[in-house]
Amino acid sequence: MTEELEDYILSHIDKEGEALARLDRETHLYHLRPRMCSGHLQGRLLKMFVRMIRPKRVLELGTFTGYSALSLIEGMDADGELHTIEIDDELEDFIRSHFEASPYSERLHLHIGDACDIVPRLGMRFDLVFIDANKRHYLDYYNIVFDFVEPGGFIIVDNTLWDGKVVDWGKKLDAQTDGILKFNDFVSSDSRVERVILPIRDGLTIVHKL
């Protein structure tokens, strides 16, 4: 993907909207690792997935600054709600300021803490789960959320190609790459689901629970 080709794509898809553009700009100005922000292309893709799936309840693991959450709920029906979990409490004020300014604020529910603790406590079932949290624990997250996903529901997982490190054969694995490889290997043989990996940005795995 060249910069020129990416610019062409972005100029031929739906605009991201003023609120999302402002959030993306402030993320790059004020936060470390702004690359973690989903951004224009992935944000429009997440919204489109929601339009197709029409979930009543969405769960997100890994809010970061809130771009993906706002993209997801933008595509939901008026009676849908989104729960998003972020472990870094230093991001809370920034996230809430953007959520509260959103027309979807009453249907956005932010939870601060460890997803492994929070998901079981929520006691809810979800039609769609988006995982974009600590790569070391991807398989743990998958196993934790699986029973809370409705039959026929979807799990979307970001960064599953991890800058191509998943095929760096023979190199010493860092903990994050190792976590992604374990997740990818497990899901590829999980008879309870259908799955496909899309080579978009850093890899996006779509899992359909049978």
Residue with tokens 């743990």: 140
3-state DSSP call for residue 130?
A: strand
Per-residue pLDDT of the chain (210 residues; tens, 9 = 90+): 788 999 999 999 999 999 999 999 999 999 988 988 999 999 999 999 999 999 999 999 999 999 999 999 999 999 999 999 999 999 999 999 999 999 999 999 999 999 999 999 999 999 999 999 999 999 999 999 999 999 999 999 999 999 999 999 878 789 999 999 999 999 999 999 999 999 988 999 999 999
pTM of the model as a whole: 0.96
Residue 169's φ and ψ, nearest 5 degrees, are: -60, 135
From the list 194, 193, 70, 191, the residue with the least C-alpha distance to 130 is: 70
Is 158 in contact with 130 (CB distance < 8 Å)? yes
Domain 3-209 has CATH 3.40.50.150: yes
3-state DSSP call for residue 81?
A: strand
Q: Which amino acid is residue 168, in one-letter code?
A: D
Query: What's the Cα-to-Cα distance from 20 to each of 17, 68, 126, rounded to whole Å?
Result: 6, 9, 25
Where do the structural domains in the chain lie, given as residue ranges? 3-209
